[in-house]
Amino acid sequence: MQLTNNTIFITGGTSGIGRGLAEAFHKLGNLVIIGGRRKHLLDEVTRANPGMHAVELDIADPDSIRRAAATLVETWPTLNVLINNAGIMPFDDAAGSIDDATALATIGTNLLGPIRMSSALIAHLKAQPRATIVNNTSVLAYVPLANTAVYSATKAALHSYTLSQRFMLRDTSVTVQEIAPPWVNTDLVHKSDDPRAMPLDAFIAQTMQALASGREEALVDIAVPMRNNAGPDEHALVNAFNAQVAANPIPVAP
């Protein structure tokens, strides 16, 4: 995608990767609008970045998505980039009882949210001379983390949806790119400063370069080996990955 002269809407833009991308695009002179549920956090980010705008959005609520989309199109008619970034990552136990409310919230946020947000804005985006949708999946779409089974499954599903979305938009002005972060040092689960987590600033810098390349999958270098997981040996890789994590558990906030 072109990194300048855009009007960009980023869901989940108040923290972590979403805020990092919002601030990176803002520094390049783009008109950036962030979306999120908590107004005080939206206000905090926009105060820290004069000229940035915000729209209240609950990505798990279809009515909230429709209202936000209407506001975006009316207020910023040059909107040409949608970054579907919002997500939640609760831990679960696929060998035990899965809390239904948590599972539904994860699916509603991570999978249905980007689908609905794209659907609400797609007619507007197709009317622009140049537009981009960026879907934020995860390396866990390719190598699932067993103790976040539902999260990993939603990211795999969003990757699959992205492939179909890209194909269906092939003859339009809308391009579709996917970012698939590795473990990044954010508060998605618990900001522990674990040395295994990629520093956020390094992730953002590499991701911006990857997006600028125009590649369909804008991956940072560390994500490539996990992305390349495929074929009959994938179970061995998945099992080895999860055994390694089980031996050195990811810290979870108390």
Query: Which of the following is catalytic: 9, 142, 151, 183?
Result: 151
Residues belonging to the chain? 254
Catalytic residue flag (residue 151)? yes
DSSP label at residue 60: T
Residue 188's nearest CA partner among 115, 246, 136, 228 is: 136
Encode 5-46 in three state secondary structure. Answer: CCEEEEECCCCHHHHHHHHHHHHCCCEEEEEECCHHHHHHHH
Residue of 246, 209, 225 whose CA lies nearest to 139: 225
Rounded to whole angstroms, the Cα distance separating 152 from 116 reads 19
Within 10 angstroms of residue 177's Cβ, the number of other Cβ atoms is: 20
Q: Which two tokens stand for residue 137?
A: 């999946």
Cα separation values, 13 from 56, 130, 197, Å: 11, 23, 20
Which positions are annotated as active-site residues?
Answer: 151
